[in-house]
Amino acid sequence: MRNLQELIRPNIRSLSRSAHLSVASQEYKASIRLDANENPYNAPFNRYPIESENRFKALAAQIKGIPVENITLGNGSDELIDLSFRIFCRPQKDNVVAISPTYEMYQHYADLNEVTYRAVILNERFGLSSRKVLDACDARTKIVWLCSPNNPSGNSLEREEMLQIVTDFDGIVIIDEAYSDFAAQCPMRNEIADHPNLIVLNTLSNAWGNAALHLGMAFAHRDIIEFFDRIRPPHPINALTLQQAIEAICDPYEVDKWVRMLLLERRRMLDALRELPICKAVYPTEANFILAKMTDAAAIYEYLVSKRIFVHPLIDTPLCTDCLRISIGTKSENNALLAALRQYGR
């Protein structure tokens, strides 16, 4: 890869690391805290949640198998996506390359940060070609965005193709693994130690059942993590979020149970959807959702809305014309959806 200092935007390189962030990154116990202009009353909410953030990261490090110094947090993966553009990409000068179709917020934040967004279409089976992605890069490409399992297609991208991109691209490769807990593929976060240009995103929203917390994680080389911590707001994750996150991550066995139930429902839903006359194709998935090609996705979507059942329409998305993305719900929710689809047009 190019030297990290060359990849970082010049104005970001020049930012000093704030004193409170330096303190926040250390494990410490202070007997008297008079450094942060906090109110000494109304404990425990009177103090910034430094110790809670450190505790959560320590627990996440154990479960994810990543050293604490290689972890930073954000208000959802979306904030970490935005911060990535702000760290590496100069507005109106640099570009990024991403696959298509994929998570739409990559392009949203590219547009927001005035960064050119280049989309490389996947093959008809939503497969990844490292050669096509690398060919789309040039000297001003700072980031390659990958999502695996991919949203909205649900499939895991080919691991060897991803590794080829990480190895051959001289910029930053960011792999969004929001749905990796549902997949059989070995997560790419395990490659961070060998690839200093790799950033992997994760979240508590999906498998961990805590979307309301909107808590995201980034795993990367410690030098990259330092720049994330340098530009993010001081103490960005509030105490109540961290308290619930700690409770959730302390019970991984409950999460494993949820994942097993969702995988069983996913298999049942795949079989049931394939039998529907209005369903033209159901694509393989390793996420907690299914992409299904319908005879008339727009009309079926409106019909489901009238039944107060909401799925995600993908009417004009590349490779997804006339598709619906359907999240796996509880057994009763899934049954209600199937019942409504079986009655469509009757």
Q: Are strands 323-327 and 289-294 parallel, antiparallel or unpaired?
A: antiparallel
Same domain, 287 and 236: no
Same domain, 241 and 268: no
The pLDDT of residue 32 is: 83
Domain count, the chain: 2
Same domain, 181 and 118: yes
Same domain, 335 and 223: no
Question: Which range marks the domain in which residue 144 is found?
Answer: 4-250
The pLDDT of residue 1 is: 83
Cis peptide leading into 236, omega within 30 of 0?
A: no
Same domain, 268 and 221: no
Q: Which helix (H) or strand (E) holds 193?
A: none
The pLDDT of residue 89 is: 98
What are the E-state strand segments in the chain?
71-74, 95-100, 116-121, 141-147, 172-176, 198-203, 216-219, 279-282, 289-294, 312-314, 323-327
Same domain, 231 and 339: no
Query: Kindly report the CA angle at 71 between 262 and 195, in degrees rounded to 5?
Result: 95
Q: Specify whether the CB–CB gap between 84 and 96 falls below 8 A.
A: no
Same domain, 8 and 45: yes
What are the E-state strand segments in 65-134?
71-74, 95-100, 116-121
CATH of the domain at 327: 3.90.1150.10
The pLDDT of residue 17 is: 67
Neighbouring-strand partners of residue 145 = 98, 174
Select from 234, 250, 266 the last residue of a domain.
250
Same domain, 215 and 279: no
Q: What is the pLDDT along the chain (346 residues), one digit of tens a residue?
A: 899 999 999 999 988 665 445 454 454 566 788 888 999 999 989 999 989 999 999 999 999 999 999 999 999 999 999 999 999 999 999 999 999 999 999 999 999 999 999 999 999 999 999 999 999 999 999 999 999 999 999 999 999 999 999 999 999 999 999 999 999 999 999 999 999 999 999 999 999 999 999 999 999 999 999 999 999 888 899 999 999 999 999 989 999 999 999 999 999 999 999 999 999 999 999 999 999 999 999 999 999 999 999 999 998 899 999 999 999 999 999 999 999 999 997 7
Cα dihedral 10, 14, 19, 21 in deg (nearest 10) = 10
CATH of the domain at 193: 3.40.640.10
Same domain, 106 and 184: yes
- Give the integer Cα–Cα distance in Å for 259 and 242: 22
Same domain, 335 and 230: no
CA-based end-to-end distance of the chain: 59
Other Cβ atoms closer than 10 A to 131 = 12
Cis peptide leading into 149, omega within 30 of 0?
A: yes
pTM: 0.95
Same domain, 238 and 257: no
Of the candidates 290, 278, 273, 262, the residue with the CA atom closest to the CA atom of residue 153:
290
Select from 250, 285, 301 the last residue of a domain.
250
Q: Looking only at Cα atoms, what is the longest distance across the chain?
A: 72
Same domain, 243 and 326: no
Select from 250, 284, 319 the last residue of a domain.
250
